[in-house]
Structure 1
Amino acid sequence: MPIDLVKPPKRHTLAPAKQRILDTADRLFYEEGIRAVGIDRLIAASTVTKATFYKHYGSKDRLIVEYIAYRHLQVAELVEEAAQATDDPEQLLREIAQIQTQFISAAGFRGCPFLNAASEFTDAAHPVRRAVEQHREWFHDIVETLLRAIGHPLPGDAADDLMLARDGAMSGGYAGDSIAANAGLLRMYERVIAAATEREAA
């Protein structure tokens, strides 16, 4: 039976122009930085009018929040797909690690989109920072749930460790050697899993 985790947000069908703007923002914000991409650039690259842009999103700030939500949706759908393919929480943890390493190894990788977005908004109360925080809490909760399911003695602390390992691999994989970053991340997952399985065997 597949593992039951928090379901990803429902993917809604958007009007073609609205989806095109979101897809353009998804690409440009990640590739060039959120503040570096202005509204006029987004409008031109999306091939929409200014009126259409404001009709669908109203402001750049609203589009930025939608971009973070869209990035979250993409990650959540990958995790859900992996969860539906196994009933073994240990295997799912390893699948989640593989999802992360595949992202780091992908062409055009330039770091974690959520950390990148957070670094551009210094106000912790800003909606973008809150959206990033919600994504990170979602990820932490999933990892903690799986670690608890395999009998880890400190699932919350271990989830913190894996979150920090993921952050480090994302940053190091962009700024340095992606192969080394991925190897380090996978080693950390294996160490955390071993701490649970060794306790079960004792």
Structure 2
Amino acid sequence: MPNLEASFRALRVLHIARVLFNQYGFHKVGVDRIIAEAKVAKATFYNDFHSKERLIEMCLTFQKDALKDKVFSILYSYQELMVLDKLKQIYFLHTNLEGFYRLPFKAIFEIEKLYPAAYKVVIDYRNWFINEIYKLLLTLKATASMEDAHLFLFVIDGAMVQLVGQNQIDERDKLLDYFLLMISSV
């Protein structure tokens, strides 16, 4: 039973940290605030996570794994969907401000120098994602390139910048429409 309690406690800390990091950023949220909101002792926190970087890495790994599961589900579970529909679903999965991509997106701008191990989690996801999108684009267009896959990720990132900055949902849709038009033309 003590192991189960420790697991629930660690999950609670992870959940609270993810919410706080999403809301305030990685630099404005310290360990003291996390442990106060999670109602755990500082020694318990350091026993479970060892450092703030390790906690951030675990938060990002959780988000990355959830995103991968969702992307795999779209790519392989919905065989009847057309490629453009799959791209749309993947796009909207990543441009949801309440979704799993927001924290990794925020990490791109905030943690590279200070938390390199955690930053690597995000870079690994982005590389995996580009490769999966490239394979999907090849099923649509034999001349698709890795640059097209990179462009799709840049369109997602651009939409996220717009959503975080101004909350312009119409512009987000225009970015996607333009990309889909560009990629589906011969």
Using the alignment, how far apart are the partners of 2:82 and 2:134 within structure 1?
Answer: 11
Structure 1 residues not aligned, in runs of 5+: 1-13
Q: Is the 8 A contact 1:118 1:128 kept in 2?
A: no
* RMSD, matched Cα: 2.3
Residue number among 94, 108, 111 corresponding to 2:88 in the alignment: 94
Q: Between the two proteins, what is the percent identity of the paired residues?
A: 25
The alpha carbon displacement at 1:69 in A equals 0.8
The alpha carbon displacement at 1:133 in A equals 0.8
Using the alignment, how far apart are the partners of 1:183 and 1:52 within structure 2?
Answer: 45
Using the alignment, how far apart are the partners of 1:152 and 1:44 within structure 2?
Answer: 54
Using the alignment, how far apart are the partners of 1:51 and 1:149 within structure 2?
Answer: 52
The alpha carbon displacement at 1:81 in A equals 2.5
Comparing both structures, which one devotes a greater share of its residues to helix?
A: 2
**How many residues matched?**
178
TM-score w.r.t. the length of structure 1 is 0.78
Residue number among 139, 143, 147 corresponding to 1:157 in the alignment: 147
Matched residue, 2:50 = 58
Using the alignment, how far apart are the partners of 2:57 and 2:7 within structure 1?
Answer: 18
> Which 4+ stretches in 1 moved above 6 angstroms?
none
Q: Which has the higher contact order (CA 8 A, sep 6+)?
A: 1
Matched residue, 2:35 = 43
Letter in 1 for 2:106: N
Matched residue, 2:124 = 134
User: What secondary structure is seen at the aligned counterpart in 2 of 1:69?
Assistant: helix
The alpha carbon displacement at 1:122 in A equals 4.4
Query: Is 2:113 the counterpart of 1:123?
Result: yes
Q: Is the 8 A contact 1:83 1:92 kept in 2?
A: yes
Using the alignment, how far apart are the partners of 1:166 and 1:56 within structure 2?
Answer: 34
- Deviation digits for residues 112-163 of structure 1, max 9, x if unmatched? 4223212223439811221221111111111101001222413311111111
